[in-house]
Structure 1
Amino acid sequence: MAPNVLFVLTSHDAMGDSGNKTGWYLPEFAHPYNVLKDHVKITIASPNGGEAPLDQGSVEAFKADEEAQNFYKTQEALWKNTQRLSSFIGHAKEFDAIFYVGGHGPMFDLATDPISHKLINEFYESGKVVSAVCHGPAAFVNVKLASGEHLLAGQTVTGFSNTEEDTAGATKYMPFKLEDALNDASGGKFVKAKQDWGPKVVIGHGGRLIMGQNPASAGPVGQAIYNAIFGEETTGEEV
């Protein structure tokens, strides 16, 4: 039987009080999906279920990304018909990994969603892979384990950096700075690529915590999830 991976998309479609729409980010869903789709069963969930909002800005920003554009044109049913996240409580043992897709949306809903926090706990305590890319790690910033320790305590972490957020012009609309929150939760262990927008993936908790910095990290995160599920060796903290 093929392994099972639960992809989680945001249900939030507005960027603060900017008047701009947001949601999940196209290449951060497309690339990990394509890495994994022929090897695992993928289930798609969101807090509200139903259609999960795609950040249309990501479609335009990655119009030269042929893989992402093909995904956009052919896989609409994946994000139009997501299952409600709460329906997976108590079912972590049926999966091998959970993966949080980025986009600004998770900063507003998944960062503080108690259902999501409970699910992450269940996956982690069941020995499963917990993973995210770009703003997806916002889902981890308030997660504490059954022991009372923070999920990220003492772990090398990454996610969308402050300088990348500034360049994107979105810092003023965010409820918090993701880099700062991840750095605080981990005890000062946030790392990032040498240059903004470069790929960066870090692996923690003995291979069970996988985090990527930005859109360029999405494919490598998918590969790291594959490696973790199928026992392929990943050397060091970075991929």
Structure 2
Amino acid sequence: MSPSILVVLTSHAELADTGKKTGWYLSEFSHPHHVFASSSPPPKITVASPHGGAAPLDQSSVEAAKDDKISVEFLHRQSALWEATTPLSQILKEGIDGYDAVFFPGGHGPMFDLAKDQESQEIVKKFWEAGKVVSAVCHGPAALVNVKLSSGDYLLKGKKVTGFSNSEEDAVGLSEQMPFLLETRIKEVGAEFEKTEDWGERLVVDGKLITGQNPASAKAVGEAILKTI
């Protein structure tokens, strides 16, 4: 029987008050999806978002991936995945028993909605307490930082975690526009933050918690998800 992966995308399209658009980051979904689709048997993929419907794709990530064959092909062939996502409320209603892993791609959008979305947090809690894989890349771990378990402890407390670093946020000039800094918040909830140089590949696997630092880490996260499930 094929494994099943729940991918959760942001519904947030506005980059603070800059007048610019944001959303989810193309290569952070396209490369894990390519890993999934290339496996045998390929896992079933369900894509959800807080609001359901079309999940906003960060157009700057499309430009950044214009020479990336995997991302370009994904953009043109797989748009149905993000143009009609399932609302998180429906995922909660139907239950998570049929899934083996949840995965949060990044982009700046998750910093604004998934970081505080109660339904997203409940889904992550249920996955973790059921012994399922919880995974995220780049800004995707924003969806994990405020999740509390039944014990009252933060999910990330005492865990080894990575994500988009403060120095990388500074490098793209968006630290002042973020509602919080991801690296700082990960440390605040008691996790051990690990990172490599800016834009370098960094994968951190702590049991069934899988995180990647940045876009360059997305493929490794996909491979780790498959290996773990």
- Provide the rounded CA distance (Å) in 1 between the counterparts of 2:2 and 2:190: 33
**Aligned partner (choices 111, 126, 130) of residue 107 of structure 1:** 111
Q: How does 1:3-18 map to 2 (within 5 A)?
A: 3-18=3-18
Which residue in the other structure is 2:67 paired with? Answer: 64
| 8 A contact 1:156–1:186 mirrored in 2 | no
Which residue in the other structure is 2:54 paired with? Answer: 51
> 1:125 Cα deviation (Å)?
0.8
Which runs of structure 1 show a deviation greater than 6 angstroms over 4 or more consecutive aligned residues?
none
Which residue in the other structure is 1:234 paired with? Answer: none
The 3-state SS of whatever aligns with 2:161 is: coil
- Provide the rounded CA distance (Å) in 2 between the counterparts of 1:77 and 1:88: 18
> 1:52 Cα deviation (Å)?
0.2
- Provide the rounded CA distance (Å) in 1 between the counterparts of 2:175 and 2:165: 10
Query: Partner letter of residue 2 of structure 2?
Result: A
The 3-state SS of whatever aligns with 1:186 is: coil
**Aligned partner (choices 172, 175, 180) of residue 171 of structure 1:** 175
1:2 corresponds to 2:5: no
| 8 A contact 1:35–1:222 mirrored in 2 | yes
| 8 A contact 1:5–1:43 mirrored in 2 | yes
1:118 corresponds to 2:156: no
Query: Partner letter of residue 209 of structure 1?
Result: L
Query: Partner letter of residue 16 of structure 1?
Result: A
- Provide the rounded CA distance (Å) in 2 between the counterparts of 1:77 and 1:92: 22
> 1:42 Cα deviation (Å)?
0.4
What count of residue pairs does the alignment treat as equivalent? 225
| 8 A contact 1:157–1:183 mirrored in 2 | no
- Provide the rounded CA distance (Å) in 2 between the counterparts of 1:100 and 1:227: 17
Greater CA deviation, 58-67 or 40-49? 58-67
Which residue in the other structure is 1:135 paired with? Answer: 139
- Provide the rounded CA distance (Å) in 2 between the counterparts of 1:50 and 1:36: 23
> 1:186 Cα deviation (Å)?
2.7
Residue by residue, what CA displacement relative to the aligned partner does 1:172-194 show, whole Å, maximum 9, x if unpaired?
Answer: 1100000100111134x11101x
> 1:210 Cα deviation (Å)?
0.4
Which residue in the other structure is 2:24 paired with? Answer: 24
Query: Partner letter of residue 198 of structure 1?
Result: G
Residue by residue, what CA displacement relative to the aligned partner does 1:53-104 show, whole Å, maximum 9, x if unpaired?
Answer: 0000001012111111111111111110101011111512210000001000
Greater CA deviation, 63-72 or 48-57? 63-72
| 8 A contact 1:201–1:217 mirrored in 2 | yes
**Aligned partner (choices 83, 87, 96) of residue 90 of structure 2:** 87
Percent identity of equivalent pairs? 55
Which residue in the other structure is 1:182 paired with? Answer: 186
The 3-state SS of whatever aligns with 1:52 is: coil
Query: What are structure 1's unaligned runs of at least 5 residues?
Result: 230-239
> 1:9 Cα deviation (Å)?
0.3
- Provide the rounded CA distance (Å) in 1 between the counterparts of 2:157 and 2:182: 15
| 8 A contact 1:30–1:67 mirrored in 2 | yes
- Provide the rounded CA distance (Å) in 2 between the counterparts of 1:157 and 1:6: 20
The normalised TM-score by structure 1 is 0.92
The 3-state SS of whatever aligns with 1:203 is: strand
Which residue in the other structure is 1:235 paired with? Answer: none
**Aligned partner (choices 88, 98, 101) of residue 102 of structure 2:** 98
